[in-house]
């Protein structure tokens, strides 16, 4: 599978997606989850990541997509040690998202060997398009699941302070032609606590970057082995800010080095 082509029938998806961990529920407490998802769709976001681990996020996402479901590439997960529960989680996701899920991932590799046959059968039956595996840390077991030749994508943390994926996972994903979903592009928001001013970002202006959040997103996506980044936000205006980073031109080594240095500056 060609990298960056996780969309329906191998089409390219815009490279800024939306994560939903904690933030979609936070938006819902303000009555804004539909606004977040609608704003994302309107801004061209297509890839939405969720999980049964994220409280009500899967349901909130389904509700917010509403009759625009067909515009979305839904990536959700199985997260359980129990095979029976895994089957229920898949069935529930299919129910929520109109009988079809584009990317079904095994969350944190929990019981991945046990769940894989279920997902392979679902892919064979056309209920899901692709199979993925995620882990919140870059661990060796990710390589084992990648090397089975049975999955289509991995989801890993990748930001200027968390670059372990560069050592083995990104090269392996490229070798095997797997999609790479970049989670935690802001380090769960921590990287955004840095006080980076306009002057420091000036060299990035020709790349369309005006804010530190955009610089961080473009840093990851400028590695061509990365398919899509999934920043999470509960605030509709931040969607517009974040999607800007999904447009070329991409950073070269100098710009990436600058962002890396700034990220380590605190
Ligand atoms: N094991 C796994 O599979 C796994 C683990 C971790 C994460 N994930 C996935 O990856 C997604 C992203 O990771 P994450 O949610 O941990 O962290 P993240 O996307 O790195 O950071 C999210 C934080 O950034 C803030 N934010 C977003 N855009 C902003 C902007 N333009 N300006 C200022 N603040 C901004 C959000 O707050 P506001 O709401 O206030 O904007 C939120 O606090 C998750 O939602 C989830 O879908 C998967």
- CA 172/CA 143 separation, integer angstroms: 8
pLDDT per residue over 36-66, tens digit each? 999 999 999 999 999 999 999 999 999 999 9
CATH of span 8-263: 3.20.20.100
Structure tokens at 6: 């996780």
Q: What is the DSSP letter of 162?
A: B
Note the pLDDT of residue 171.
97
Residue pLDDT, tens place only, 100-140: 999 999 999 999 999 999 999 999 999 999 999 999 998 99
CB atoms within 10 A of CB 166: 13
CA max distance for the chain: 55
Task: Please indicate whether residue 187, judged by its CB atom, sits closer than 6 Å to ligand 1.
Answer: yes
pLDDT at 3: 40
Give the count of beta carbons closer than 10 Å to the beta carbon of residue 67.
6
Of all protein residues, whose CA lies closest to atom 23 belonging to ligand 1?
Answer: 189
Q: Which atom of ligand 1 is nearest to the CA of 241?
A: 31
The answer to whether the peptide bond before residue 108 is cis (omega within 30 degrees of 0) is no
Q: Is the minimum distance from the CB of 162 to ligand 1 under 6 angstroms?
A: no
Residue 67: CA atoms inside 13 Å, Cβ hemisphere, count? Answer: 0
Give domain limits for the chain: 8-263
Mutate to test the pocket of ligand 1, among 28, 142, 184 (most ligand atoms within 8 A of CB): 184
Q: Is the CB of 20 under 6 A from ligand 1?
A: yes
The burial class, CB within 10 Å (0-12 / 13-18 / 19+), for 3 is middle
Q: Cα(233) to centroid of ligand 1, in Å?
A: 6
Phi, then psi, of 236 in degrees rounded to 5: -50, -45
**Angle at CA of residue 54, ends 45 and 247, nearest 5°:** 20
For the Cβ of 161 lying below 6 angstroms from any atom of ligand 1, the answer is no
Q: Take atom 47 of ligand 1 and give the residue whose Cα is closest.
A: 19
Reported residue count of the chain is 266
pLDDT at 10: 63
Beta bridge partners of 181: 155, 228
Return the residue matching tokens 């359980």. 80
Averaged pLDDT score across all residues of the chain: 95
The sign of the CA dihedral 222, 223, 229, 232 is negative
- Please report the atom of ligand 1 found closest to the CA of residue 234: 39
As given in the structure block, the two tokens for residue 31 are 């009555």
β-strand partners of 132: 105, 153
At 1, is the pLDDT very low, low, confident or very high (cuts 50, 70, 90)?
A: very low
Ligand 1 nearest-atom number relative to CA 213: 31
Query: What is the DSSP secondary-structure string of 42-73?
Result: HTT--EEE--TTSTTHHHHHHHHHGGGGGG-E
Separation of alpha carbons 185 and 198, rounded Å: 20
pLDDT at 2: 40
Q: Which residues on adjacent β-strands are paired with residue 112?
A: none
Q: For 178-200, what is each residue's pLDDT tens digit?
A: 999 999 999 999 999 999 999 99
Q: Over the stretch 91-104, which tens digit does the pLDDT of each residue have?
A: 999 999 999 999 99
CB of 33 sitting under 6 A from ligand 1 = no
What are the pLDDT digits (tens) for 74-83? 999 999 999 9
* Secondary element (H or E) of residue 124: helix 112-124
241 ligand 1 Cβ < 6 A: yes
Establish whether residue 108 lines the binding site of ligand 1, counting it when its CB lies within 6 angstroms of any ligand atom: yes
* Residues 158/182, Cβ–Cβ less than 8 Å: yes
Q: Which of 21, 54, 74, 245 to mutate to test the pocket of ligand 1 (most atoms within 8 A of CB)?
A: 21
């Amino acid at each position: 599978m060609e990298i960056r082509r996780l969309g329906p029938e191998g089409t390219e998806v815009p490279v800024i997606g939306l994560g939903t961990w904690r933030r979609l529920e936070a938006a819902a407490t303000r009555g804004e989850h539909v606004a977040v998802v609608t704003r994302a769709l309107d801004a061209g976001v297509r890839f939405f990541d969720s999980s049964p681990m994220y409280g009500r996020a899967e349901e909130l996402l389904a509700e917010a997509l509403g009759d625009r479901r067909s515009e979305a590439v839904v990536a959700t997960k199985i997260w359980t040690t129990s095979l029976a529960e895994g089957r229920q989680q898949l069935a529930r996701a299919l129910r929520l998202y109109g009988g079809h899920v584009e990317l079904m991932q095994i969350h944190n590799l929990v019981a991945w060997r046990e769940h894989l046959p279920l997902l392979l059968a679902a892919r064979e039956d056309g209920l899901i398009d692709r199979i993925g595996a995620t882990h919140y840390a870059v661990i060796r077991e990710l390589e084992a699941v990648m090397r089975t030749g049975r999955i289509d994508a991995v989801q890993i943390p990748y930001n200027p302070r968390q670059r372990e994926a560069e050592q083995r996972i990104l090269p392996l994903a490229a070798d095997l032609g797997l999609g790479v979903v970049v989670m935690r592009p802001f380090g769960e928001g921590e990287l955004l606590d840095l006080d980076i001013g306009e002057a420091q970002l000036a060299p990035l202006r020709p790349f369309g970057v005006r804010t530190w959040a955009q610089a961080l997103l473009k840093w990851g996506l400028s590695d061509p082995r990365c398919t899509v980044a999934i920043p999470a936000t509960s605030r509709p205006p931040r969607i517009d800010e974040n999607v800007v980073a999904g447009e070329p031109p991409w950073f070269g080594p100098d710009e990436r080095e600058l962002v890396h240095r700034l990220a380590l500056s605190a």
